[in-house]
Structure 1
C-alpha cells in the first residue's frame, strides 16, 4: 500500500515539475527553436525565376489571435505549428529539398509545438486556420502543378507563418 502511495506521489511530483519546466522552456528556449526553424526553412530555399502565384495570407486570423488571451495565443501558435508539420508531411516528392533537411526542420517545429502545447493548458482549434492550411496546397498545386516551384511558394508562405507565430509568442514573453 505504501509503495502505491509513494509511486502516486512520485508521479504527481514529476508531472507537476514537468509542466512548469515546459513553461520555463517557452521563456528560455522558444526563441532559440524559433530562430532555428527560420534558419532551416531558409536553407531549404530554391529560387526559381518566373511568375509566382499569389496566395492570400490570413493576416486577419493573426490579428484576432494577437488580441486573444495568453492561453488562446499559445493555442493558436500550437495549431499553426501543427498545421505546418501536417502540410510538410504530405507527399513532397516533387520538392527539391533534401530529405534530411526537411526532417530536421520538422523535428524542430514538432518540438516547438509539443512544448508550447504543454504551456497552453487547453487546445482550442481555429477552424478557419485549419481550412486555410487545407486550401493552401490545393490552391498552389492547382495553379502550378505539383512542381518544385509550387513547393517553393508553399515554403515561403510557411516561413511567413513561422515569423508571425514567433511574434505572437514573443508578445507573451515580453508581457511576463
Structure 2
C-alpha cells in the first residue's frame, strides 16, 4: 500500500469535504425533485420501432448525448452504413462512430445532439480546434489498424440530432467536413 504523505492526506481531506458537500446538496435537491439526477437506464430511453427517443422530461447533457448517439447509429444503419466502431478513445480524443458507407467510404462521425438551440445549432459546435482533434483521432484509429488513408477513402462527418417539440429525433448527416 502506498502512503499518501502529508500533501496527499491534505488533498484527500479536501476531496472528501467536496464529495460530502456534493452529496448533501444532491440529497437536498432529490428531496424536492425525486427525478433529479436520474441515471440512464432502460427506463430513461424508450424504443419506438428502431428509433430511440428521449423521455418527455429533460435529460442531462450526458444522457442526451448517449441517446443522440444511439439515434445517429440507427439512422446510419438505416441508410446502409455498417457501424465499425463506437466511442473509440485514445490520447487525442474520442470518435463517436466509425461507419463504412455503402460506397466504401470510412466515415468518422461526430454526433452533436441538441434539445433546443439556446447554445446554437449542432454544426456550430464543430470548431477548427475540434476538426483538428477529429483528424488526430482519425489518424490514431487508422494507424492502430494499419490502414493507409491513401488506399481507402475516409471522411470526417457530423450527425446532428435535434429533438422537435414532440420528442421525435431529427437527424442530419453532413459528410466531408473540412
- Alignment TM-score, normalising by the size of structure 2: 0.25
Q: Which has the larger radius of gyration?
A: 2
Higher RCO (CA 8 Å, separation ≥ 6 residues): 1
Structure (1/2) with the larger strand percentage = 2
TM-score, scaled to structure 1: 0.25
